[in-house]
Amino acid sequence: MTDTATLSLAKQLLAIESVTPKDAGCMEVMGARLKALGFKLEIMQFGEVTNLWARRGETSPVLCFAGHTDVVPTGPIESWQFPPFEPTEHNGMLYGRGAADMKGSIACWLVALEEFIATNPNHEGSIALLITSDEEGPAKDGTVRVIETLESRGEKIDWCIVGEPSSTHKVGDIIKNGRRGSLNAKVSIHGVQGHVAYPHLVTNPIHMLAPALAELTSTKWDEGNDYFPPTSFQVSNFNAGTGATNVVAGTADLLWNFRFSTQVSDQQLINWTEDILHRHQVKFSIDWNTSGQPFLTEPGALVEACQKSILANTGYATELSTSGGTSDGRFIAPTGAQVVELGPRNNTIHQLNECVSINDLESLTGIYHGVLVELLGD
């Protein structure tokens, strides 16, 4: 049986070994098809990172698809059922690194574009793509740099679909219409090392921290809201000690993280946390890093277009959610754009034997096409 247009393109992209931060030629494949559709292409190179900004049309509103061609490392190749960069069909699934995260989504969007432009050559507004090879890595020279460039020249995105794998049980069952913020801390607690048998000569940093940590883990930082759960605090690493049973550590080192809602700011969390540590007389040094601010797209034109298309293509209603980690949507939303994440199921992303349902790829192509028609159809 001949592959569909979506499946054929997905296989072509999956065969390219584009481990972050390498694009390795994916954007050349995309660019050739986009150029044939009348898109103007602009490659933005920052360091090792390749970014593509492609646009068709000069007027607003601008509907943008944001995605990434880089993939996470494969892990032990011998543990894969099929070679990770040899796309393989098996039992209705397409296997390969990046199948779900997110070359499958890119293939769906490109084919939906081709079908849409064929029947809507004079569509309303503009269509754009913002594609990076730096989403799975540090995310310093990717989408954030492209957005800075667009903002500097007054080029605005009105609606943005991020093709991240947002679905859970079936394609389109969940739209991410926001994400929690992420605030990280690298913490050192300063004590005095010594022999456990002479407690009057030591200051145990673990004991010093314990009451404050108990308060940090039990504090209710906010109530959340209709779209966000309450802010959470988690310690991910805790290291102290020399390995000997008779030596009190001189320092204790921790990593912790807040996933926070739009009810609080990162600065409020920083202030409250340090107040707790000071109140418990903890001697500490701390390095804070906000890797993403929370954002929310309330129901409006973009959300409603996605909901309508999902219902028309699948027969079921979708759910709005802000759960999960961060995405490049965090760089786009602050510009004022409406942003949603809509892509395939996420049950195998970053795993061995990553795969996506071939039927889901066809459904997602139809969903994307429906959104294009709803928002920009002529």
pLDDT tens-digit profile of 101-118?
999 999 999 999 999 999
| Band of pLDDT at residue 1, cut at 50, 70 and 90 | low
Distance, first Cα to last Cα, the chain: 34
Would you say 108 and 345 are in contact if contact means Cβ atoms under 8 Å apart?
A: no
Dist. CA 172–CA 158, nearest whole Å: 22
Average pLDDT, stretch 328-340? 95
Query: Is 70 among the residues known to form the active site?
Result: yes
Average pLDDT, stretch 306-314? 98
- Give the DSSP H/E element, type plus range, for residue 94: strand 93-95
Average pLDDT, stretch 9-32? 98
Query: Is 135 among the residues known to form the active site?
Result: yes
Q: How far is CA 258 from CA 16, 193, 281, in A?
A: 36, 30, 22
Is residue 2 pLDDT above 90, yes or no? no
Mean of the per-residue pLDDT values for the chain? 96
CA 266 to chain CA mean position, Å: 19
Residue of 114, 135, 141, 158 marked catalytic = 135
pTM over 0.85? The answer is yes
Amino acid 323: pLDDT: 87
Q: What confidence tens digit (pLDDT) does each residue in 157-183 have?
A: 999 999 999 999 999 999 999 999 999
Average pLDDT, stretch 66-81? 97
What proportion of the chain, given as a percentage, has pLDDT over 90?
A: 96
